[in-house]
Structure 1
């Protein structure tokens, strides 16, 4: 057997080191080696240890402890500790400068690991901390970056970075993932892929890790038609996005089926035989193939193992997720009960609001929301939760419109629409249709989901494109709350000189005025202008000066002009809006 070298990268407290890596330049190409602990040589098939491991399925990482797949003594004798000889299976992979696979070799080796790195230690070396393996780590970072980019370009959904997070091979978000964690994840995906391709191409028995969509017949007819159209034009990337919320869970299978989330034709678990029983099964199959020995499992036995491991894994993860959800709910509930809601930090209040919305108990936070709205301490996420996530019901619409009216003259509506794009539902897109007008620019915010485009009933017009987009986002949120979204073909430009409606079915102006606190004429006037589909009020100010030292404000809206004075601009603006509002109510009363 050849003696090989490498190093491990894992959690600082990890004792089950079942894979090591090595990398070096090979001309213009890069040679990557992944060494996997030879567990099969120490755990005979169908032995007592083997049967117990099958019952456990995998090492259980609990909140406060860990239940290993194998006894600690055996685990320690298999772990790839530094400066100790260990039997391994070596996967030798050659890739070109673009990250394309050139060659792959499999062999049994003896590893002497040079170093046991923690993820944090590797992060330090990548940032410049001196270490004799720094060149290897930097080369690994470059080549795995190419591999990740290549997979993403091929449409992979899982195993990719999202902001500062990382989505692992099973679609779970790993918060604040380090580069070192992404390096190892990418190497393991590569190794599992190339070994699976080898076993498939040679028609050897293999325990695949598959991932597909649920039964598409469960989809609404409209969505099924959209999916069929995507299939017809072979748009795989858009198809993955369109069905992102319809993924089934990953499972084990002896059949060579795709892993849709990773964007791979075949995939398996092979690199963690100390932690996962499926990897041990595949290691036995791989060693039999390398030595030309009889297959150690029949197809029927492999099917039974796949079914058992899949059920075990799903059950454990359901229990774990339920435990964490309950912990988060309990933690937030305790903090809310023990703290004056008005004194919660913005971050904690956002968590409390999110949990309240999930539990259908958002009404308990309504008064605090209004107070924070008045104080200007609501975050973008809070506005998103109130305006989009809280269901639009007769009980919630009035409150939601009050919150909506408060963001009329700022960019918050655009920020909320950005969260609609990224957080609302899979496949959601947000775009702005634009056209020039004699008065400036017209914009229409169009939100598309499952192939269905929805927008407000009218385009928004402003002197500048950015303002037109802002107003159109604002209009979209209003139409969403009122349930008045239409298709772009149905949207119309607002009339040049609108008049107050008589019997339109819209609320009388006095119904738009807040009754929860001191009347907010600025917000009410904004809301009324939006309901009529006319430009928002404009305000101009004169600085405070002698003899009274008051600020002066002029409000123009609906061909009406109002003036106000106050010791601050805010007060003057309020008075000017109130002046116009009085005229609006008077005009509406006359029309009746």
Structure 2
């Protein structure tokens, strides 16, 4: 919402010195704040270090700052400051000396509504440096000289948070459990040093100052960098996310909180900079800027330059095209950093799981997620500590492995050390044969293969019908088929066929079985074109021929042509019999019909050749 313009300096002076809240020994203090209680609200004043006057545009320090984008403090990037140490020491806010600053003064009503905003140049004097724990201690110490001012700051932060929540922002803190939302609404785990009231005071006061400055700049039509944020199309309604955040914190389950964190990562897009006001979804604001950390973020330095040029009556320091280029550079750099961070943590996790897989430890206490990570690394890299393979076999026998884990164990793991666990895995699948279908499906999905194909048939009359099925999967261009299995139901036959195919792919003894005896047939004296077993389709008969090695190299190639509403499919079937390649080609309106017709022609050619061979003998 636009703020009324008040350009005249306020006559109100802070009752207590501004406070710089940062870790001990910091040499890049960007901001200081003071909060003064009014009759009908508060006056929040934020002083921001004047970095624009000390870092010239296109200087070496400026170009390096743009390249680095922002300071890093430990973690995957290590410690990497945006500006050189001498520049930081010269421009940082510091106690005991006057410091040039940009001042943002916001008048805030008792309900947290920002009413007036004034932005000007100022000199910060008498500021007090405190670390977060010192702030928390001062608030509870009746003798501390800043207790009253810090209590007002804490009270204001609670009101600002409640106001943001009422306005639909994804905002919450649970300092006891250590969970909070970041500026964009993502759920984050706070470090131990951040789990006190000072974290909330700084976060809420800086968001309030940045929000007020965005409205102030928009009123004056200043071309600067805005911080815009949006969500994915699959994101749930805002209120659903808010309710889920409340429920997750009330429940307190680490697993539930982590699941919600992962979901917010998926649906909340990364905020980006742009030379226009695009709105901020997480904060539910029409406009937002980053302006309070010019020593640590390049975007804040750009905003400060624009504000100071306006205050000084000078022309804008950047053209719209220059701002767009800077925004692109910052966004691209942030994107590259996110990808590098993901890769870093993935490699770190792999290294951790690799060490765990090679350690002869007790894996039974691991939960399913932790064990999956270790099993995956062990199977993929053929690392097999005896305790790991033993635990894999135990969990397989207890049906505690997922289809993906059975796939890893049976179709990824290799080597002598995994033999026992793999045999136990296949035995477990055979005991629950429906699992085999899921394992084959997972294998096809993770390897980009076509789905498993089943060839079904039936013999006999109800209620004594015997169903038969065989399963086939094309791997590396080769058709791999399991044995044909029979059962009293089509589903049961498919399950056993899937077990057989899985055993063949795993190169393990086949534990599948026929669950019912086949219907007796009278074997013909001679193999002729009419020798197709009664009730079996040409496809099933060809499969049986291939399994008993009457033929080899059986394959089907299907092509389509014509308009989508009236296609024509042509299937070319071929196989080798006695060293001779035989073929059958047919066309039909559907793939299945074309394949069946081609199979029938190929089968007739094979039976004719078999008849001729028999007659010649």
TM-score by length of 1: 0.56
Matched, 1:154 2:167: yes
Matched, 1:112 2:125: yes
Matched, 1:12 2:33: no
Q: Any conservation in 2 of the 1:95–1:102 contact (CA below 8 Å)?
A: yes
Report what 1:125 is aligned to. 138
Distance 2:142 2:300 in 1: 35
- Structure 1 unaligned segments of length 5 or more: list them: 217-222, 376-382, 403-501, 508-592
Of structures 1 and 2, the larger Rg is shown by 2
Q: Any conservation in 2 of the 1:58–1:277 contact (CA below 8 Å)?
A: yes
Report what 1:166 is aligned to. 180
SS in 2 for 1:312: helix
Aligned length: 381
Root-mean-square deviation (CA, aligned residues, Å) is: 4.1
Query: Residues 299 and 120 from structure 1, CA distance in 2 versus in 1: closer, same or farther, beyond 3 angstroms?
Result: same
Instruction: Deviation per CA, 1:430-455: give whole Å up to 9, x if none.
Output: xxxxxxxxxxxxxxxxxxxxxxxxxx
How far did residue 397 of structure 1 move? 13
Q: Any conservation in 2 of the 1:206–1:285 contact (CA below 8 Å)?
A: yes
Query: Residues 22 and 371 from structure 1, CA distance in 2 versus in 1: closer, same or farther, beyond 3 angstroms?
Result: farther
Q: Any conservation in 1 of the 2:397–2:428 contact (CA below 8 Å)?
A: no
How far did residue 112 of structure 1 move? 2.2
SS in 2 for 1:60: coil
Matched, 1:294 2:312: no
Report what 1:498 is aligned to. none
TM-score by length of 2: 0.53
How far did residue 269 of structure 1 move? 0.9
Report what 2:221 is aligned to. 203
Report what 1:79 is aligned to. 92
Matched, 1:194 2:212: yes
SS in 2 for 1:81: coil
- Structure 2 unaligned segments of length 5 or more: list them: 1-8, 245-262, 411-424, 432-487, 494-617
How far did residue 137 of structure 1 move? 2.0
Report what 1:41 is aligned to. 53
How far did residue 143 of structure 1 move? 1.3
SS in 2 for 1:33: strand
How far did residue 326 of structure 1 move? 2.4
Query: Residues 322 and 287 from structure 1, CA distance in 2 versus in 1: closer, same or farther, beyond 3 angstroms?
Result: same
Distance 2:130 2:170 in 1: 29
Distance 1:391 1:96 in 2: 61
Query: Residues 302 and 503 from structure 1, CA distance in 2 versus in 1: closer, same or farther, beyond 3 angstroms?
Result: same
How far did residue 149 of structure 1 move? 2.2
Report what 1:545 is aligned to. none
Query: Residues 23 and 371 from structure 1, CA distance in 2 versus in 1: closer, same or farther, beyond 3 angstroms?
Result: farther
How far did residue 62 of structure 1 move? 4.0
SS in 2 for 1:206: coil
Distance 1:335 1:141 in 2: 45
Query: Residues 266 and 331 from structure 1, CA distance in 2 versus in 1: closer, same or farther, beyond 3 angstroms?
Result: same
How far did residue 280 of structure 1 move? 0.5
How far did residue 287 of structure 1 move? 1.3
The 5-angstrom pairing of residues 175-574 of structure 1 reads 175-176=190-191, 177-179=194-196, 180-214=198-232, 216=233, 236-238=238-240, 245-342=266-363, 352-353=370-371, 355-356=373-374, 368=391
Distance 1:181 1:116 in 2: 15
Query: Residues 369 and 256 from structure 1, CA distance in 2 versus in 1: closer, same or farther, beyond 3 angstroms?
Result: same
Q: Any conservation in 1 of the 2:30–2:293 contact (CA below 8 Å)?
A: yes
Report what 1:476 is aligned to. none
